[in-house]
Structure 1
Amino acid sequence: MNSPKTRYLVFFQYFGTKYSGVMETLTDQPMLGVQNYLERAAQNLRPVTPIKFYVSSRTDTGVHALCNSAHLDVQRGVGKPPFPAGVIVAALNYHLKAEPIRILSAYRVSDNFHARFSALSRTYIYRLVTGCSHHSQIPVFERDLCWAPKGDHLNVPAMQEAADSLLGTHDFSTFRSVSSEKPFKSPIKTLAQADIRPSSGFMSHHYEYRGLQFWELEFKSRSFLYRQVRRMVGALVAVGQGRLAPYHIKELLEMRDPLAYPLNTMAPAAGLFLKSVEYDDADVDTEGNAAE
């Protein structure tokens, strides 16, 4: 008889430009999902049954993750003990070394743990840069990692005032993508954080002489609707540019209609990062269990 399955929670990051998103795609597609590469690497653990990654947070083509998460079950052959968490991290990273994907840490979790449904919250960051009159002025090390909206200046206080109206529990239908794959999903979400601040990236000071300023918009909620963050960011940038007033954001929220969202306003994918996925400490026993 084979050994019982062992469930692991893994945290991982990726540079999303070359992938169709995080979710698995058919292998004959020109761009594959991050999940395809994770599962391909996991088969080198030589499990009794194929390993599937259950990803906590979906990200689209071009979206990056500082830290996403997933759970997986690993079943070994007769008499073989479960892998230590450190072996999972080292083995997966070894077989992922050709890809901009890295396993950050791993934990053994209970059999009823689910990376998606056990998550308490998700935090996203969107990066903006101002001072670029043309996209060619974006520093080479920042390409595909930020958005440079038109104009040399954003009214950040007005943007923060508008962002404050998004806080709390609302029907976010206006900020849901019209092409949402799951229109039956509840649009009621509780936004716990919506902050705008200057970016403190370690290279920022190299760009100051060029008049470039980087900004981070950070949002936290238990879950988000499809493309909700990018649509919120786009509307807030429109406020910063003076195309919308802060009170317009509240009006859009109250319309509860995705078709009411201003055309050609959604922020592009490149500046969006999934920053973190949070869990209850009781679900993830970290002592003696994690591997970095």
Structure 2
Amino acid sequence: MGSGPAAGSVRARYLVYFQYLGTDFNGVAAVRGAQRAVGVQNYLEEAAEGLKSVVPVKFTISSRTDAGVHALSNAAHLDVQRRSGQPPFSPEVLTQALNTHLKHPAIRILQAFRVPGDFHARHSASSRTYLYRLATGCPRYDQLPVFERHRCWALQATCLDVAAMQEAAQHLLGTHDFSAFQSAGSESPSSVRTLRRASVSPGPASPFLLPQEGRRLQFWSLEFESQSFLYRQVRRMTAVLVAVGLGTLTPAQVRLILESRDPLGRHQTRVAPAHGLFLKSVLYRDLEDRAGDVACAQQESQGPGGRKAPGQPDFKPETSGPTAGGLG
């Protein structure tokens, strides 16, 4: 029989959805060592200390995001091992406890689920969607409302050729080698990805605009969906599509850039600013019918734990496909 504090204890694995404003963080990944804790993961794991797990709780993040990038809904799995005789936390109690102990106001736990012990938040994801927000009609950065700063890319142009951007986006759809849109530092062994959706559309009007600003400023939304992305792929694709919208590139040139597989070409070295990018969702095939519950939790404002989760899912995680996380 085993001995020590873990003897007789039961380990429970959870899938946790969480959101954050990335402005104050050096990305989602934890910063280890003597450096100041500036990663979202640092604060999550510090909050998990309040769970009093026999074994320290570590968050395995589904989708890595860079400094300044936000998340409407990211995901992670974690193991909590309570002392012998103590039952596992319910997902609702776990959510409330983590929110209670979180020490940074820009992070929030949305929802939690019990999952099998072999579930993996990064490898099992079936879909990741990123949203990029643009603003046109802003000749100077100080003309952007303070509530929108660090949440969109403000362009000096008064308009974009959205039809050309939509045409260019069609060249990116499907399975391709996206080497031309990959930044150095990617850990992925393959640059082949399948882009399922790439859309360009007018964004909702900002509620923070004064009447005179609403006549000048226009917001636009770019969305990209894939099982996984290469390092900074979304921000590089966004920069190229914006160039098309401004008339400095044609849709046909975007196809040539993709086919070149050259990340150091004249146009593809551009990277859209991090602060306009949001990880919108991470989906798991056997949890997709619950995505609406997570979306509601994002909007819920009553109480630290958000909306009560439904019953625990009964599923086996996917283990096939790319192992790289979302690195938009």
Give the TM-score of the pair, scaled to structure 1. 0.93
| Residues 168 and 251 in structure 2, CA contact (< 8 A), matched pair in contact too | yes
Distance between the aligned counterparts of 1:149 and 1:78, measured in 2? Answer: 58
Q: Kindly state the Cα deviation for residue 75 of structure 1 after the two structures are TM-superposed.
A: 0.2
The reply on whether 1:150 has 2:156 as its aligned counterpart is yes
Candidates 193, 196, 201, aligned match of 2:197: 193
Superposed CA RMSD: 1.9
Question: Hey, what does 1:2 align to over in structure 2?
Answer: 8
Report Cα offsets for 1:213-250 as digits up to 9, x if no partner.
Answer: 00000000000000000000000001111111111100
Q: Distance in 2 between matches of 1:230 and 1:168?
A: 18
In structure 2, the partner of 1:246 is: 251
Matched residues in 1 for 2:250 and 2:117: separation? Answer: 50
Letter in structure 2 aligned against 1:16:
G
Contact 1:128 1:214 in 2 (8 A): yes
**Residue from 30, 49, 53 that aligns with 1:24:** 30
Confirm or deny that 1:214 pairs with 2:219.
Answer: yes
The amino acid that maps onto 2:53 is P
1:51 is paired with a residue whose SS is: coil
Partner of 2:241: 236
Equivalent-residue separation in structure 2 for 1:196 and 1:117 (angstroms): 28
SS at match of 1:215: strand
Match of 1:48, SS? coil
Deviations 1:58-94 (A, max 9, x none): 0000000000000000000011100011111001101
How far apart are the structure 1 equivalents of 2:288 and 2:156? 45
Q: Given that residues 234 and 265 in structure 1 are in contact (C-alpha distance below 8 angstroms), is that contact kept between their aligned partners in structure 2?
A: yes
Kindly indicate whether the alpha-carbon contact (under 8 Å) linking 1:131 and 1:152 is maintained by their aligned counterparts in 2: yes
Equivalent residue for 1:138, pick from 144, 168, 175: 144
* Maintained 8 Å contact 1:124/1:275: yes
Shift of residue 204, structure 1, vs aligned partner: 6.8
Counterpart residue type for residue 92 of structure 2: G
In the aligned structure 1, how far is the partner of 2:287 from the partner of 2:32?
A: 36
> How far 1:150 sits from its partner (Å)?
3.2
SS at match of 1:180: coil
Contact 2:186 2:230 in 1 (8 A): no
Partners of 2:70 and 2:288 in 1: how far apart?
26
Residue identity opposite 2:282 in structure 1: V
Q: Which whole-Å CA distance do the structure 1 matches of 2:87 and 2:280 have between them?
A: 34
Aligned length: 288
Q: Is 1:288 paired with 2:293?
A: no
Contact 2:263 2:269 in 1 (8 A): no
Matching of residue 99 in structure 1 with residue 82 in structure 2:
no
In the alignment, structure 1 residue 120 sits paired with structure 2 residue 154: no
Report the residue type matching 2:273 in the other structure. Answer: P
1:248 partner SS: helix
Q: For residue 96 of structure 1, report the CA deviation from its aligned partner.
A: 1.1
Contact 2:37 2:43 in 1 (8 A): no
**Match of 2:165, SS?**
helix
Kept in 2, the 8 Å contact 1:26–1:32? The answer is no
Asked whether the equivalents of residues 168 and 244 of structure 2 are also in contact (C-alpha less than 8 Å), the reply is yes
1:37-186 to structure 2, matched below 5 A, reads 37-177=43-183, 179-182=184-187, 185-186=189-190
Q: Quick one: distance in 2 between partners of 1:243 and 1:170? A: 24
Which sits farther off after the overlay, 141-150 or 58-67? 141-150
- Whether the 8 Å CA contact 1:2–1:75 is kept in 2: the answer is no
Secondary structure in 1 matching 2:82:
coil
* Residues 278/261 of structure 1: CA separation in 2 closer, same or farther (3 Å cut): farther
| Separation in structure 2 between the aligned mates of residue 269 and residue 205 of structure 1, nearest angstrom | 22
TM normalised by structure 2 equals 0.83
Aligned identity (percent) is: 55
Question: Structure 2: any 5+ residue segments left out of the alignment?
Answer: 1-6, 291-308, 314-328
Give the gaps of 5 or more residues in structure 1.
none
**Is the partner of 2:254 in helix, strand or coil?**
helix
What is the rounded CA distance, in whole Å, between the counterparts of 1:118 and 1:211 in structure 2? 44
